[in-house]
Amino acid sequence: MQAKKRYILVFVSCAFLAYAYFGGYRLKVSPLRPRRAQHESAKDGGVQPPYEQLPSFLDQADPLGPLGHLNGSAGALGALGHNDSRRSRGSECRMETCFDFTRCYEQFLVYVYPPEPLNSLGAASPTSATTRRYSLPYRSRATTPAIPRPPASLCSAWTPWTGTPSPRTMCAMSRPGWPACRTGTTAGITSSSICIRAPGRTMRKIRSASMLGHAILAKASMSVLQVRHGFDVSIPLFHKQFPLRAGATGSVQSNNFPANKKYLLAFKGKRYVHGIGSETRNSLFHLHNGRDMVLVTTCRHGKSWRELQDNRCDEDNREYDRYDYETLLQNSTFCLVPRGRRLGSFRFLEALQAGCIPVLLSNAWVLPFESKIDWKQAAIWADERLLLQVPDIVRSISAERIFALRQQTQVLWERYFGSIEKIVFTTFEIIRERLPDYPVRSSLVWNSSPGALLTLPTFADSSRFMPFMLNSMGAEPRHNYTAVIYVQIGAAMGPNAALYKLVKTITKSQFVDRILVLWAAERPLPLKKRWPPTYHIPLHVVALGGNTRIGAGAGPTGQTTEERPSISQRFVPYDEIQTDAVLSLDEDAILNTDELDFAYTVWRDFPERIVGYPARAHFWDDSKNAWGYTSKWTNYYSIVLTGAAFYHRYYNYWWAMWYIIKLHPTNFCLILHQLP
């Protein structure tokens, strides 16, 4: 045999071997178990995707699953009993197991326990700080639509929980009044005196002692494990000096793009050489570079740090003293918010206010109001386990993102965190949204200006009916307006009376939907025939103050109202007002039809503002040390009088809600600057 042929033979055998090696599995006859038969048969189909032949997870056993044989079967009901038994765990609470909804059907009222002296157990007598904290709940009762009533008729009870850093406060909480707040909210308004030293363990101790009972806990620095899903509310940690009401505005004044701050990431704070405290803070010096990353720590705290200091302390303290905290806050793009002794830290709110984007370094911390606020739009997460990645994370964020994040810090600060009042009200609103009769606001409403506290969801179920988000929804306010004329003087009603002229003028407007006359004058109402013809436009006359009412034009008459006419009634959301735009007029307003129509078209571009004619201004009066009001001609204005102005119907509703709680400002205004 020739050598060449031998080579060929070898080659052939190699080829065969290779074939056997790679493709030989086709020859394999697998010893299939019977249960695989279905898979095998599937292969014959060929064209179909392989899963077509597999059984569905739903019909593998019983087509209806546990459902089919359910109607009335004993097993099913028995199963339910089992479910219920799980709920009886007292320490664990959910709204449906621990909250008494029946108290909340009509109104959302909050009863505030009277301040009790706490010193029965040797706790310090109420200092100025604690009284301050007590005074808040009283205000909150005044501003939530609430009238003092006996506790039995109130929805939830709210106990201010003033802790001092001694474990004794635990007992203070379980004082006799404690069980009374079974359905209540416990807002652990914790300033620097907070009774939870080690988050986690101590907290569970409370639960096991069922000290909390069925109360909703609103507390700072909660961890994922502590918080009862959909029940407790996490609130931010704030200082003793935190403002009660109004509060400081966010300190971001300019909205430069890109921001160009001096530092990229900053932190200045303690690290803990003794006691419980974040380990992470001890490693922060690794990230410090003194240029754009300034992370300085000090060991100085408490009394005994000298004895316990480690060899880095001196160097750290030196660096620490080189930087000023306020300056860092203002000049840094990002601020590190590492956990301290507890999960939350004061830095969070401070950074938020300063518009320094928080970089969270506190694993398992439940952020304040996490269920409603989308913190992804305002903060950056880092993981304590991956500390050294922080610089990379921070550097990788685009300028656009920083731009958006920084603005959002300000929105959130303004809306929910500016004062204790805002924090408390936000807590209540979150709880309120869980109630059956209260509509839930969307995440969009919660996370954009003007925020949930100023959006009354009972007004309308869609944001389309509100003035605030139309632009971002790509929607426009609904067409036409309702003219509301408030008649107070009721001068002699000749045929040429100003009121009749005004009605005529309005009738000619192309955008008017209907006219509503609010008759608050002493004089009796003019007869129906005296009114000028309004043709197809309905004219309603509502007599305020018990006069008889007369309807004219096409529409029906309005309603009788209480006895004493009050100027506030001009802003009552009457049912007749169906349009988004309300034109509020005094009886003696002198305007022509073109002016009305023009103002209306301008209003459509600014539905959230008051658009009108009579402009006034406010100024700071140095001599009286108070704000002054002026009707002089000025180069600026801040008030548009409602004698002739368009505004959104929503403000009427808003007015009515505040009216209930007996607020009587003399004028309803919204600040407007130089508009034509």
Partner 1 sequence: MNKLKYLLSLVTQPRTISSSSPKEQLLNCLTYGLFTIVALCAGFLLWDLSSSQRDGFFYGKKDSHTLVLDLSHSQEVILHSDADQRKRNGNCTFWDCLNIYKCEHDRLKVYIYPLQEFVDDKTDKVATTLSSEYFQILEAVLKSRYYTSNPNEACLFLPSLDLLSQNVFDKHLAGAALASLDFWERGDNHIIFNMLPGSAPAYNSVLDVNTDNAIIFGGGFDTWTYRPGFDVAIPVWSPRVGHQHPHAAAQRKFVLVVAQLNVLPRFLRTLRDLSSAHAEQLLLLGPCNGMDLSTRCSFSQHHKLMEYPRLLSHGKFCFVGRSLRLGQPDLVEIMSESCIPVIAIDNYVLPFEDVIDWSLASVRIREFELHSIMQKLKAISNVKIVEMQKQVQWLYSKYFKDLKTVTLTALEVLESRIFPLRARSSRQWNAIATNPRATFNPLFLPSLAPKSQGFTAVILTYDRVESLFLLIQKLAVVPSLQSILVIWNNQKKSPPHLSTFPSISKPLKIRQTKENKLSNRFYPYPEIETEAILTIDDDIIMLTTDELDFGYEVWREFPDHIVGFPSRIHVWDNVTMRWHYESEWTNQISMVLTGAAFHHKYWSHMYTYAMPGDIKDWVDEHMNCEDIAMNFLVANITNNPPIKVTPRKKFKCPECTNTEMLSADLNHMRERSACIDRFSKIYGRMPLRTVEFRADPVLFRDNFPDKLKRYNDIGSL
Near partner 1 in 94-123, by CB under 8 A: 94-96, 101
Q: How far is residue 500's CA from residue 493's CA, in Å, rounded to a whole number?
A: 8
Per CB under 8 A, the segment of 130-138, 212-220, 294-302, 629-637 that binds partner 1 is 629-637
Check if the beta carbon of residue 404 is closer than 8 Å to that of residue 376: no
CB of residue 642 to partner 1, shortest distance in Å: 19
Degrees, nearest 5: CA angle 365-368-369: 125
CB of 654 to partner 1, least distance (A): 18
> Closest approach of Cβ 456 to partner 1, in Å?
15
Task: Please identify, using beta-carbon distances, which residue of 529 and 673 lies nearer to partner 1.
Answer: 673
Distance CA 14, CA 30 (A): 26
Which of these segments, 183-191, 233-241, 306-314, 470-478, binds partner 1 (CB under 8 A)? 470-478
Binding to partner 1 in span 64-93, by CB under 8 A: 64-68, 70-72, 75-80, 82-83, 86, 92
Residues 535-574 that bind partner 1 (CB under 8 A): none
Q: How far is the CB of 383 from partner 1 (least distance, A)?
A: 6
Indicate if the alpha-carbon torsion angle 60, 62, 66, 68 is positive or negative: positive
Provide the minimum distance between the beta carbon of 634 and partner 1 in the complex, in angstroms, as a whole number: 7
Residues from 20 through 39 that contact partner 1 (CB under 8 A): 20-22, 24-25, 27-28, 30, 32, 35-36, 39
Residue with Cβ nearer partner 1 (11 or 535): 11
Cα dihedral value 583, 585, 590, 592, nearest 10 = 20
Per CB under 8 A, does 633 bind partner 1?
A: yes
With DSSP H G I counted as helix, E B as strand and the rest as coil, what are the percentages for the chain, rounded to 5? 35, 15, 50
In contact, 577 and 649? CB cutoff 8 Å: yes
Query: Which has the closest alpha carbon to 481: 392, 582, 396?
Result: 582
> In the β-sheet with 156-160, what is the strand arrangement from edge to edge?
110-112, 156-160, 185-187, 216-220, 233-235
Residue 177 engages partner 1 in binding (rule: CB under 8 A): no
We find the least distance from the C-beta atom of residue 13 to partner 1, in angstroms, to be 4
Using CA atoms, how far apart are residues 215 and 184, in angstroms rounded to an integer? 5
Does the protein bind partner 1 through residue 13 (CB under 8 A)? yes
C-alpha–C-alpha distance, residues 221 and 192, integer Å: 12
How would you classify residue 602: left for phi > 0, otherwise alpha for psi between -120 and 50, otherwise beta? Answer: alpha
For partner 1, the closer of residues 438 and 658 by Cβ is: 438
Residue number with CB closer to partner 1 (118 or 359):
359
Nearer to partner 1, 28 or 662 (CB): 28
Residue selected from 127, 153, 304, 472 as contacting partner 1 according to rule CB under 8 A? 472
- Buried b / exposed e along 325-336 (16+ C-beta atoms within 10 A): eeebbbebbbbb
Q: How far apart are CA 611 and CA 477, in angstroms?
A: 14
Strands 611-612 and 644-648: antiparallel
Q: Yes or no: say if 649 and 571 are a contact pair by the CB < 8 Å rule.
A: no
Q: From residue 354 to residue 393, what is the string marking binding to partner 1 with x (rule CB under 8 A)?
A: ---------xx---------x-xx--xx-x-xx--x---x
Q: Element (H or E) spanning 158, and its range? A: strand 156-160
Which of 459, 465, 500, 659 touches partner 1 by CB under 8 A? 465
Residue from 447, 455, 534, 561 in contact with partner 1 (CB under 8 A): 447
| Stretch of 18-26, 141-149, 500-508, 650-658 lying at the interface with partner 1 (CB under 8 A) | 18-26
Which CB, 385 or 536, lies closer to partner 1?
Answer: 385
> Which tokens hold the place of 547?
């006069």
| Smallest gap from residue 618 Cβ to partner 1 (A) | 14
Q: Which residue in the set 246, 444, 554, 663 belongs to the binding site for partner 1 (CB under 8 A)?
A: 444
Q: Give 481's strand partners.
A: 512, 581
| Nearest residue (CB) to partner 1, 8 versus 308 | 8
Backbone phi, psi, residue 335, to 5° = -125, 130
Give the whole-angstrom CA distance, residue 612 versus residue 618: 17
Q: Which of residues 254-273 bind partner 1 (CB under 8 A)?
A: 254-257, 260
Question: Which has the closest alpha carbon to 480: 456, 503, 512, 450?
Answer: 512
Provide the mask over 573-612, with x wherever binding to partner 1 is found by CB under 8 A and - wherever it is not.
-------------------------x--xx--x-------
Of 321 and 400, CB closest to partner 1: 400
What is the C-alpha to C-alpha distance for residues 551 and 529, in angstroms, rounded to an integer?
10
- The residue from 3, 44, 46, 56 that contacts partner 1 (CB under 8 A) is 56
From 116-124, 410-418, 551-559, 651-659, span contacting partner 1 (CB under 8 A): 410-418
Answer yes or no whether residue 53 interacts with partner 1 by CB under 8 A.
Answer: yes
Map residues 473-502 to x or -, x wherever contact with partner 1 holds by CB under 8 A: xxx---------------------------
Site for partner 1 in 185-214 (CB under 8 A): none
Distance, CA of 136 to chain centre: 20
| Near partner 1 by CB under 8 A: residue from 153, 548, 634, 667 | 634
Q: Could you tell me the sign of the dihedral formed by the alpha carbons of 48, 54, 56, 62, in that order? A: positive
Taking the complex as a whole, how short is the minimal distance between the CB of residue 652 and partner 1, in angstroms? 18
Q: Which two tokens stand for residue 248?
A: 């400081």
615-621 and 626-630 strand pairing: antiparallel
